[in-house]
Structure 1
Amino acid sequence: MISAIGLIGALALLIWMTIRGVNILIAGPVAAAVVALTSGIAWLPPLAAEGAPNFATSYMDGFVGFFADWFFIFLLGAIFGEVMGRTGAAASIAHAVTKALGPRFALAAVVLATAILTYGGVSVFIVAFAVYPLAVQLFRSADLPHRFIPGALAFGSVTFTMTSAGSPEIQNLIPMQYLGTTAWAGAGVSLIVAILMASLGYFLLSRMIARAVAKGEHFEPRKGVDDDTRNPSELPRWWAALLPLVTVFSVFLIFQYPEYLGALSNILPPESLGKWALVVALGSGIIVAALIGLRSRERLPTAFSIGATGAVVAITNTCAVVGFGTVAQLTPAFQQALGAVQSLPGDPLIGAAIAVTVIAGLTGSASGGQSIALPLIAPHYLAEGANPAELHRVVAIASGALDSLPHNGYVVTTIRAVCGETHARAYPAVAMTTLLVPIIGTIVAIALFTIF
């Protein structure tokens, strides 16, 4: 009982500290220490009984383990996003989208531009920085409330694109190493669910904005926010700007399925590279993006430097909540909850979805939640005969639901650092699109897999 109270209280404390602006690298260990205290786990190795876990070692095992598994992908993804942004390639794509749709469809333009960049390989941790300047211009021209920009950016990046089949985002890649699947697992159902999530999310977000406008809200520029003042004529052509995205997607696909390339397969690895295919793809995309942006070559060193720094910040923020989750999974309350989920009667997909959703909520991270949950639940459900491809897709979609609670690193960064907003003003729209919509998408995915 005390363990359960401590776990719930620690999660509440983690959320509260994050909302209050406490750095996640501090909030994560503090909350994890509370979990350890209320579950009888020693804080330091010398204080633990022989063979018993302790807070310090367990937390760092989770922290370092995630860092080791995903650092190169975070690094190359961040550098790719920065190169796309600094050379003007991302702005060029966003300008083309907004020019085609016009200010009247400002929300659709922001969502579409973000979705294109995300599905093209720009990390979800980086894409908001690239699209935000254009979002400000569009929302100003359409006189839409600024507080909805974080919701638009989050909806376009961490919902129907992040967890869809073929997405190069790590949230779609993590299940591969535990289930033996590919990034295209469950593609048919994934397409249907993605269309549903995109349509539903856009409808809900546009209704929220319409109601706010009807109540008299207008665009209010945030203090310290700058527009992207570059003239579109100075940017790369939109079709050229798309080449790095096409490169990332194509190379990723090639190294996922080398067996379908005929004679070319003789000069490529005979088997899929799994998640490492994205390392090759992002590296190729960086080279193409740098070549496309040669006119801005003086900005490339800065892009690489800032990208590398941003990668460390992004991955350590995620590692901090993974460490929290690693300590949490040692508690009696966590083990009891996991046992209850695994013993749920009926389709294993339901149990897997619930387990991943809950753990992603506890850790405040889709990728962190998957990394903790899958080693525990994958063997169990595969042994029960669950289809690996179906399990992959359900787990991926489910991980993108409760992960977006207020303490989520992406949420905090997008609302506060990128958009200069507060949780009180901006989080309702983020929650509507990144919590409710993925939950509905998960339910529909399970239903479709069950029917077909």
Structure 2
Amino acid sequence: MLGMIGLFGGLALLIYLTMKGMNLLIAAPLMALLVAILNGLPIFPQLAEEGAANFLTNYMSGFTGFIGSWYLMFIAGAIFGKVMEDSGAADSVSRWIVSKIGMKRAVLAVVIACAVLTYGGVSLFVVAFSVYPMAISLFRQADLPRRFIPAALAFGSTTFTMTSAGSPEIQNWIPIEFLGTTPYAGWEVSIIVAVFMMVFGYWWLKKMILKAVSKGERFVGRDTDPTTEARTELPDPLLSMVPLLVVLAISFFFHNSLGTSALIIALTGGVIATYLINRKYFQDIGKAFGEGAMGAVVAITNTAAVVGFGGVVKATPAFTTAVDFVTGIPGSPLIGGAVAVGAIAGITGSSSGGQAIALPLLAPHYLDLGVNAEALHRTVAISSGSLDHLPQGGYVVTTIRSICGETHKDAYPALGAVTVVVAGLGVVLAIILFSLGLGI
């Protein structure tokens, strides 16, 4: 009982400290230490039997293991995003979308701009950085409350695109290693779920914004707000989409032979294509590479800090009990897989981190039961993108605080609604469709 209190109490305190503004690099190891103590784990390896679990070893193994596995993908994605930004390609694509959709649909324009960049392979964190200046301009002109910008960015980047079939984001590629599938696993169901999440999520986001406007909320500018008017010469928007297509094409042709490594090549190809097509529009390509690398370090370190927390949790007896309970849930095994991955993603605050911890344990169990690998791939991918958006999640903290300059109190309710709830409903729909035999 004390172990369970430590497990869920540590998670609850981590969420609370994050909501209060504590840095994840401090909060995550502190709460991991609390979980370890209440579960009876030794703090240092010198105090444990040889090879036995302890706080320091398990935390740092989770922390460094995640970085070791995914650093090159993070940095390739971040640099790709920064060169798209520095060349003006990301801005050009965003403005072109706005010109076609219209200023009256400012929220939809932000969502679609994020979706196009995300499905084109640009790192989630970089998409938020790239589209935020455009979002500020659109929300200002439409006079909409700025506290909804994080929700619009997250909804367009991390729901119907990030975990969909064919997406170059790592959340769609991690299951390949453990399930022997492809990034297009369960594509029939994926299309239906993605359309549902987009339509329902956008309707809900618009409803929340209109309700706030009806109560008198308006856009409030700040001296620190970025402007998009300063740059007038931009590359052709259609040519600017070519690097996005290059990323998708390379990942499509090489995913069978190279697996997850194909994504590194694809994103590198996107960087090269951006340079070749838009090289005359670059402002400072060296700076773009440097900022991309630093952005990747920040993003992956924030994520790894919470994955380290998950590494300690994974070593506790309480975690084993919880996994046994989840995998024993009656009904479709897809339910247990979705709940387990979603819960661990919530504990680690990371969709990719949740998969990296859960799948090595769960994949053999469910495959031995005869569960369809493609159905399991798509279900756990979508599920990983739900509870990872709890307040302490690395992406959530970065987007709300670092990028948008908002507080969790103001911005998180809407963000949580269109990510946690909408993605959760998407998981339910996917399980139902797979259970009916669609896509299997």
Runs of 4+ deviating beyond 4 Å: none
Look up the equivalent residue of 1:439 and give its one-letter code. G
Which of 282, 302, 313 in structure 2 is aligned with 1:317? 302
Question: Counterpart in 1 of 2:6?
Answer: 6
Distance 1:22 1:430 in 2: 19
| Cα distance in 1 for residues equivalent to 2:290 and 2:229 | 23
The residue number in structure 1 matching 2:81 is 81
Q: What is the aligned partner in structure 1 of residue 72 from structure 2?
A: 72
Query: Any residues of structure 2 matched to 1:129-278 within 5 Å, and which?
Result: 129-232=129-232, 234-256=233-255, 271-278=256-263
Cα distance change of structure 1 residues 199 and 298 upon mapping to structure 2, 3 Å threshold: closer
Give a deviation string over 1:50-79, Cα, whole Å, max 9, x none.
332111011111111111111110010000
For residues 4-35 of structure 1, give each alpha carbon's deviation from its aligned partner in whole angstroms, at most 9, with x where no partner exists.
11111111121122222222111111111001
Long gaps (5+) in structure 2: none
Cα deviation for residue 345 of structure 1 reads 1.9
Compare 393-402 and 18-27 and name the one that shifted more: 18-27
Deviations 1:422-441 (CA, angstroms, capped at 9, x unpaired): 11111111011001000000
Report whether the alignment pairs 1:402 with 2:401: no
Q: Distance in 1 between matches of 2:335 and 2:320?
A: 18
TM-score (norm 2): 0.98
Distance 2:96 2:37 in 1: 54
Offset of 1:223 from its aligned partner? Answer: 4.5
| CA displacement at 1:293 relative to structure 2 | 2.6
Question: Relative to structure 2, which stretch is displaced further, 311-320 or 185-194?
Answer: 311-320
Residues 42 and 53 in structure 2, CA contact (< 8 A), matched pair in contact too: yes
**Deviates further, 223-232 or 39-48:** 223-232
Paired AA for residue 247 in structure 1: V
Corresponding residue of 1:291: 276
Q: Distance in 1 between matches of 2:409 and 2:208?
A: 15
Q: Which amino acid aligns with 2:314?
A: Q
Q: Which range moves more in the overlay, 416-425 or 48-57?
A: 48-57
Aligned to 2:22: 22
Counterpart among 401, 406, 409 of residue 416 in structure 1: 401
Question: What do you get for the CA RMSD once the two structures are aligned?
Answer: 1.0
Structure 1 counterpart of 2:356, from 356, 371, 386: 371
Q: What is the match of residue 317 of structure 2?
A: 332
What is the aligned partner in structure 2 of residue 96 from structure 1?
96
- The CA deviation string for residues 131-162 of structure 1, in whole angstroms up to 9 with x for no partner, is 01111111111111111111000000010100
Cα deviation per residue 1:319-355 (whole Å; 9 max; x = unaligned)? 1111100100111111101001111222110110110
Asked whether the equivalents of residues 151 and 433 of structure 1 are also in contact (C-alpha less than 8 Å), the reply is yes
**Match for 1:29: what amino acid?**
P
Instruction: For residues 228-248 of structure 1, give each alpha carbon's deviation from its aligned partner in whole angstroms, at most 9, with x where no partner exists.
Output: 23344x000101111110111
CA distance in 2, matches of 1:131, 1:242: 15
Task: Tell me by how many angstroms 1:298 deviates.
Answer: 4.3
Structure-2 residue corresponding to 1:360: 345
CA contact (8 A) 2:382 2:423 kept: yes
Counterpart in 1 of 2:50?
50
Aligned to 1:386: 371
1:349 aligned onto 2:350: no
For 2:58 and 2:19, the matched residues in 1 are separated by 26
Displacement of 1:191 in angstroms is 0.2
SS of residue matched to 2:257:
coil
**Is the 1:349–1:394 contact (alpha carbons within 8 Å) kept by the matching residues of 2?**
yes
Equivalent pair of 1:28/1:324 in contact (CA under 8 Å) = yes
SS at match of 2:99: helix
Q: Is the 8 A contact 2:19 2:409 kept in 1?
A: no
Q: Which amino acid counterpart does residue 248 of structure 1 have in structure 2?
A: V
CA contact (8 A) 2:351 2:385 kept: yes
Given that 1:222 and 1:420 are in contact with CA atoms closer than 8 Å, whether structure 2 keeps it comes out as no
Task: Answer yes or no: is the 8 Å Cα contact 2:235–2:281 preserved in 1.
Answer: no
Aligned pair partner of 2:424 in 419, 422, 439? 439
**Contact 1:193 1:444 survives alignment (8 Å):** yes
Aligned partners of 1:241 and 1:225: how far apart in 2? 25
Distance apart, 1:101 and its partner CA: 1.1
Task: Give the distance between the partners of 1:393 and 1:168, measured in 2 at CA.
Answer: 14
Determine if contact 2:234/2:281 at 8 Å carries over to the other structure: no
SS at match of 1:121: coil
Aligned equivalents of 1:219, 1:345: Cα separation in 2: 49
Q: Distance in 2 between matches of 1:119 and 1:140?
A: 27
Amino acid paired to 1:382:
L
**Structure 1 CA distance for aligned equivalents of residues 297 and 155 of structure 2:** 24
Match of 1:397, as an amino acid? Answer: I
Q: Which amino acid aligns with 2:425?
A: I
Q: TM-score, normalised by structure 1?
A: 0.95
User: Do the aligned partners of residues 36 and 223 (structure 1) sit closer, same or farther apart at CA in structure 2, a change above 3 Å counting?
Assistant: farther
CA distance in 2, matches of 1:125, 1:281: 18
Tell me the distance in 1 between the aligned counterparts of 2:124 and 2:386.
15
| Partner amino acid, structure 1, of 2:329 | L
Which amino acid in the other structure matches residue 381 of structure 1?
Answer: Y
CA 1:116 to 1:296, structure 2 compared with 1: closer, same or farther past 3 Å?
same
Task: Tell me the equivalent position of 1:263.
Answer: none
Task: List alignment gaps of at least 5 residues for structure 1.
Answer: 257-270
Higher deviation after alignment, 221-230 or 27-36: 221-230
- Cα distance in 1 for partners of 2:369, 2:222 equals 53
The whole-number CA distance in structure 2 between the counterparts of 1:116 and 1:298 is: 23
The AA in structure 2 aligned to 1:277 is: A
Contact 1:225/1:420, CA 8 A, preserved across alignment: no
Structure 2 counterpart of 1:307, one-letter code: G
- More deviation in 387-396 or 46-55? 46-55
Query: 1-side partners of 2:368 and 2:327: how far apart?
Result: 12
Provide the secondary structure at the position in 2 that maps to 1:272. Answer: helix
Please give the secondary structure, in 2, of the residue aligned with 1:217: coil
Q: Percent identity?
A: 55
> Matched residues in 1 for 2:361 and 2:236: separation?
48
The alpha carbon displacement at 1:296 in A equals: 3.3
